[in-house]
C-alpha cells in the first residue's frame, strides 16, 4: 500500500536558497528602476526649475499622477493595458517601467529642491567669474545642491526598494512572492517572513550605512 503524499513539507535549505535568489531579483529590479528613475528625475527636476512654459505645465501633472496614484494600481493597470497598445511585456519589464517612472516622480522634487537650495547670489558670482551656464550647473549647483538633498534621495532609494515587493502581484517571483509561495507550502509564516525580513534588512542596511559614511565625508 502506497503511503499518502503530503503537500505540506517543512522548511529546508533549498527553500533558503530559493529566498536568496528571490532577494537577488529584488535587488536587480530595484537597481535598474532606481538608477534610470534617478537620472530621469534629475532631468525632470531641472526642467521644472528652469521652465515655466508648456514643458513644465505638461510634465508636472503627469508626475503628480505617478506620485498620487497607489503604486499597486499603477502596476496592475499598466500590466493589463500594455498589450492593448502592442506592448508585450513580461512582469519584470512591466515592473521596471512603472517603478522607474515612480522613482522619477519622487526624485524630481528632490532634484528641484537641490537646485533651488543654491543661493542665486552664488550662481551669479560663478557666472561673473566666467563660468558658462553648464559649468555653473555641474561645478557649483551639483556639489552644493547634491549635498543638501542626498539624505532625501537615500530615503527614496530605500522606499522604492521596499515598494518593489508590489511587483509580486504581476507574478514576478521576487522576495515577497517567494515568501508567499513558501508559506503556502510549509505553513510556517513566522519563520519565512522573519527570513524575508532579514534579507530586506541585508539589502537596505549597507545602503544606509554607506550613505551615512559618504555624507560625513562629503561634509568635510
Residue 9 belongs to some domain of the structure: no
Residue 61: inside a domain: yes
Is 10 part of a structural domain of the chain? Answer: no
pTM of the model: 0.86
Spell out the alpha helix ranges (H) of 7-90.
13-50, 54-68, 71-81
* Structural domain contains residue 19: no
Per the structure, the complete domain to which residue 102 belongs is given by: 24-219
In this structure, the number of other CB atoms found within 10 A of the CB of residue 132 comes to 11
SS3 per-residue string spanning 88-129: CCCHHHHHHHHHHHHHHHHHHHHHHHHHHCCCHHHHHHHHHC
Domain total for the chain?
1
Place 98 in a pLDDT band, splitting at 50, 70 and 90. very high
CATH number assigned to the domain comprising residue 96 = 1.10.3720.10
The answer on pLDDT for 72 being more than 80 is yes
- Residue 4 included in any domain: no
Pick the most confident of 78-82, 96-100, 203-207: 96-100
Query: Looking at the predicted structure, is the pLDDT value of residue 47 above 70?
Result: yes
13 domain-assigned: no
Q: Which residue has the cell 522606499?
A: 159
| Terminal C-alpha separation, the chain | 76
Q: How far apart are CA 43 and CA 107, in angstroms?
A: 10
Tell me the average pLDDT across 132-155.
Answer: 85
pLDDT at residue 103 is higher than 80: yes
For the chain, give the percent of residues with pLDDT over 90: 22
- Give the model confidence (pLDDT) of 104-134 as tens digits: 999 999 998 888 888 877 878 887 878 888 8
In a domain, 15, yes or no: no
Position 56 pLDDT exceeds 80:
no
Residue 157: band (very low, low, confident or very high) from pLDDT cuts 50, 70, 90: very high
Degrees to nearest 5, angle at CA 156 with 80 and 57: 70
The pLDDT value recorded for residue 84 is 85
Amino acid at each position: 500500500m502506497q503511503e499518502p503524499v503530503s503537500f505540506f513539507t517543512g522548511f529546508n535549505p533549498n527553500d533558503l536558497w530559493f529566498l536568496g535568489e528571490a532577494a537577488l531579483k529584488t535587488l536587480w529590479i530595484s537597481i535598474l528602476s532606481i538608477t534610470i528613475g534617478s537620472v530621469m528625475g534629475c532631468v525632470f527636476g531641472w526642467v521644472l526649475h528652469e521652465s515655466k512654459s508648456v514643458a513644465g505645465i505638461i510634465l508636472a501633472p503627469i508626475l503628480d499622477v505617478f506620485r498620487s496614484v497607489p503604486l499597486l494600481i499603477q502596476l496592475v493597470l499598466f500590466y493589463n493595458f500594455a498589450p492593448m497598445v502592442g506592448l508585450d511585456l513580461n512582469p519584470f519589464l512591466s515592473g521596471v517601467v512603472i517603478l522607474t517612472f515612480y522613482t522619477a516622480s519622487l526624485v524630481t522634487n528632490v532634484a528641484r529642491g537641490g537646485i533651488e537650495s543654491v543661493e542665486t547670489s552664488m550662481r551669479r558670482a560663478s557666472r561673473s567669474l566666467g563660468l558658462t551656464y553648464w559649468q555653473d550647473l555641474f561645478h557649483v549647483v551639483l556639489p552644493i545642491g547634491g549635498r543638501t538633498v542626498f539624505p532625501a534621495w537615500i530615503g527614496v532609494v530605500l522606499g522604492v526598494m521596499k515598494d518593489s515587493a508590489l511587483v509580486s502581484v504581476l507574478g514576478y517571483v521576487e522576495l515577497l512572492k517567494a515568501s508567499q509561495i513558501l508559506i503556502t507550502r510549509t505553513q510556517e509564516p513566522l519563520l519565512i517572513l522573519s527570513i524575508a525580513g532579514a534579507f530586506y534588512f541585508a539589502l537596505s542596511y549597507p545602503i544606509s550605512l554607506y550613505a551615512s559614511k559618504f555624507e560625513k565625508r562629503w561634509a568635510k
